[in-house]
Amino acid sequence: MTSDDSTPSAALRTEALEQLLVERGLVDPAVVDGIINTYEADIGPLNGAKVVAKAWSDPDYRRRLLEDGTAALGELGFIGTQGEHIVVVENTDKTHNVVVCTLCSCYPWPVLGLPPSWYKDPAYRARVVREPRAVLSEMGLDLDDDVEIIVRDSTSEVRWLVLPQRPAGTEGLTEEQLVPLVTRDAMVGVAKVAAP
């Protein structure tokens, strides 16, 4: 609800509209779920994976990406709503970045698609700031004690994208071969890219 509690939130209005369209036989809920899944799992994260693979393969592009993420992403056509100002940060052996939006769920849609449900969950949003190492461990990522964890808080003005470390054993792979290795979770910083 809004601050005066008289107008339903956009999420409630959207849900009501979807329900009405389904009840009238105008929309198949399986099709809607399929579209959402495509944007969550394929289209958005695939864009980001292409960016990461290019940065791993092209040192000049990597430099441009880290200097001005928005411009470098625009070179590949990844611009638009929720992508007006994206800052890219790089994970290293000693520094690990993880992204959160503590106020809502600001997220770089052009390169990651729709945010996953856990990203929008109030527990993740609150805990990753206070105890990032514990949260990452619960999500399956255990980091050495000497690795500094930096929590990046996305806002409506700045959205963050993590450039994950390139895994060992991928030196001979092409950009096209690297793309399938890169996951959305690695670009948010809650996972690492696994070696093939």
What CATH number has the domain bearing residue 109?
Answer: 3.90.330.10
Any domain includes 3: no
Residue 83 has pLDDT above 80, yes or no: no
| Burial state string for 20-44 with b = 16 or more CB within 10 A and e = fewer than 16 | eeeeeeeeeeeeeeeeeeeebeeeb
Mean pLDDT along residues 81-106: 92
Mean pLDDT along residues 56-84: 92
pLDDT at position 25 is: 87
Quick check: helix, strand or coil at residue 174? coil
Q: Return d(Cα 76, Cα 119) in angstroms, integer.
A: 26
CA nearest to 98, candidates 68, 64, 124: 124
pTM (predicted TM-score): 0.81
More confident residue, 177 or 109: 177
Any domain includes 196: no
Q: pLDDT band at residue 41, thresholds of 50, 70 and 90?
A: low
Mean pLDDT along residues 130-154: 97
Any domain includes 34: yes
Number of domains in the chain: 1
156 labelled binding-site residue: no
Any domain includes 2: no
pLDDT at position 139 is: 97
Mean pLDDT along residues 22-45: 78
Residue 2 has pLDDT above 60, yes or no: no
Any domain includes 4: no
The set of catalytic residues is 101, 104-106
pLDDT at position 187 is: 98
More confident residue, 24 or 189: 189
Q: Return d(Cα 23, Cα 17) in angstroms, integer.
A: 10
- The per-residue pLDDT for range 145-192, each reduced to its tens digit, is 999 999 999 998 999 999 999 999 999 999 999 999 999 999 999 999
Any domain includes 19: yes
Q: Return d(Cα 53, Cα 66) in angstroms, integer.
A: 14
Mean pLDDT along residues 36-60: 86
Mean of all residue pLDDT scores within the chain: 90
Check: CB of residue 193 under 8 Å from CB of residue 183: yes
Any domain includes 133: yes
6 labelled binding-site residue: no
Domain interval for residue 61: 10-188
Any domain includes 50: yes
